[in-house]
């Protein structure tokens, strides 16, 4: 049985398959139950291999063609021409125009963004936490897609499950880091019940996409923190005193 996943109509293009997967439908146990794909986690490696195989089958590719990165909260983007083997390259975004290669973004509160230009036949997958978004990973992804022939006016981008503002309490230093780039971004903060600021990561990522000329954008409403039965959440586990956490995966592929 294939693991469940969500899609969005904005990415429902001919020749493109995509999916936002949660934590259900895999073989892992304990804190990693059940569809953990975090190769950097302490889950049994054989479980991760099996889970990734389930996802590859659901999305329609060979397991070797489901590509993931060693994500480092950077603006670094890789242009993919063929599947890679060995140690995972360090970057936070991938783009391609090659059919049959599935690009993925792993997350556990950060924002996974899937992108497609259906006219040019170019796709991308981007991992945007606050550090990456602040550093410009979304704009770098758009530029890399343009280098392959995409047009930002034609690009569709969907933000998958990530932490909501309600559950994203931050500190004053965090706010200062954001406002140092643009004081107008204070609109993405509001004071929470404790008086500390809460950050709207979803709205911030969408605003960054919009600022770089991508207007066909959307976001799933799901909150990783607020739906622990459906998604892995680093922050939720931390607040529960749980050591270790799984990773969700979001995937997009140009079908052969």
Per DSSP, the residues of 38-65 read -TTSSS-HHHHHHHHHHHHHHHTS-GGG
Q: What kind and span of H or E run contains 159?
A: strand 156-159
CATH number of residue 139's parent domain: 3.60.140.10
Give me the percent of the chain exceeding a pLDDT of 90.
97
Q: How many domains, in total, are found in the chain?
A: 1
User: C-alpha distances in angstroms, 224 versus 126, 132, 147, 181?
Assistant: 17, 18, 33, 27
Band of pLDDT at residue 33, cut at 50, 70 and 90: very high
The answer as to whether 167 is a domain residue is: no
With tokens 């969700």, the residue in question is: 248
The answer as to whether 204 is a domain residue is: no
Q: What is the pLDDT of residue 250?
A: 99
Q: What is the pLDDT of residue 149?
A: 98
The answer as to whether 195 is a domain residue is: no
User: Pick from 175, 117, 105, 177: which is nearest to 146 by CA?
Assistant: 117
Residue 140 has pLDDT above 90, yes or no: yes
Residues sharing a CB contact under 8 Å with residue 34, sequence separation 6 or more, in sequence order: 23, 24, 25, 26, 27, 28, 51
The answer as to whether 183 is a domain residue is: no
Residue 1 has pLDDT above 80, yes or no: no
What domain range includes position 46? 5-162+219-254
Instruction: Enter the tokens of residue 123.
Output: 């796709």
Band of pLDDT at residue 60, cut at 50, 70 and 90: very high
Q: What is the pLDDT of residue 168?
A: 98
Band of pLDDT at residue 62, cut at 50, 70 and 90: very high
Residue 120 has pLDDT above 80, yes or no: yes
CA distance 198 to 155: 30
Q: What is the pLDDT of residue 184?
A: 96
Instruction: Enter the tokens of residue 25.
Output: 């439908």
Q: What is the pLDDT of residue 100?
A: 98
Residue 208 has pLDDT above 80, yes or no: yes
Q: What is the pLDDT of residue 90?
A: 98
Give me the percent of the chain exceeding a pLDDT of 70.
100
Cis ω for the linkage preceding 34 (within 30 of 0): yes
Residue 198 has pLDDT above 90, yes or no: yes
Q: What is the pLDDT of residue 215?
A: 95
The answer as to whether 213 is a domain residue is: no
Instruction: Enter the tokens of residue 129.
Output: 């936490």
Residue 35 has pLDDT above 80, yes or no: yes
Band of pLDDT at residue 52, cut at 50, 70 and 90: very high
* Span 209-218, average pLDDT: 97
Length of the chain: 256
The answer as to whether 224 is a domain residue is: yes
The answer as to whether 170 is a domain residue is: no
Band of pLDDT at residue 158, cut at 50, 70 and 90: very high
pTM of the model: 0.98
The answer as to whether 59 is a domain residue is: yes
């Amino acid at each position: 049985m294939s693991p469940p996943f969500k899609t969005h109509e904005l990415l429902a293009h001919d020749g493109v398959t995509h999916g936002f997967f949660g934590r259900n439908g895999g073989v892992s146990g304990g804190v990693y139950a059940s569809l953990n794909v975090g190769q950097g986690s302490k889950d049994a490696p054989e479980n991760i291999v099996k889970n990734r195989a389930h996802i590859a089958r659901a999305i329609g590719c060979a397991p070797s063609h489901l590509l993931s990165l060693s994500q480092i909260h950077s603006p670094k983007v890789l242009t993919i021409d063929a599947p890679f083997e060995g140690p995972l390259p360090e970057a936070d975004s991938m783009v391609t125009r090659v059919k049959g290669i599935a690009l993925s973004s792993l997350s556990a509160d950060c924002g996974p963004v899937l992108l497609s230009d259906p006219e040019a036949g170019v796709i991308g997958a981007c991992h945007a936490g606050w550090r990456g978004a602040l550093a410009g990973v979304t704009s770098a992804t758009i530029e890399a897609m343009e280098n392959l022939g995409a047009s930002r006016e034609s690009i569709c981008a969907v933000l998958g499950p990530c932490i909501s503002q309600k559950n994203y309490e931050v500190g004053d230093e965090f706010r200062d880091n954001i406002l140092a780039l643009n004081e107008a971004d204070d609109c993405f903060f509001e004071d929470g019940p404790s008086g500390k600021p809460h950050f709207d990561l979803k709205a911030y990522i969408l605003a960054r996409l919009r600022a770089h000329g991508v207007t066909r954008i959307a976001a799933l409403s799901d909150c990783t923190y607020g739906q622990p039965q459906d998604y892995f959440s680093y922050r939720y586990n931390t607040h529960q005193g749980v050591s270790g956490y799984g990773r969700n995966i979001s995937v997009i592929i140009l079908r052969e």
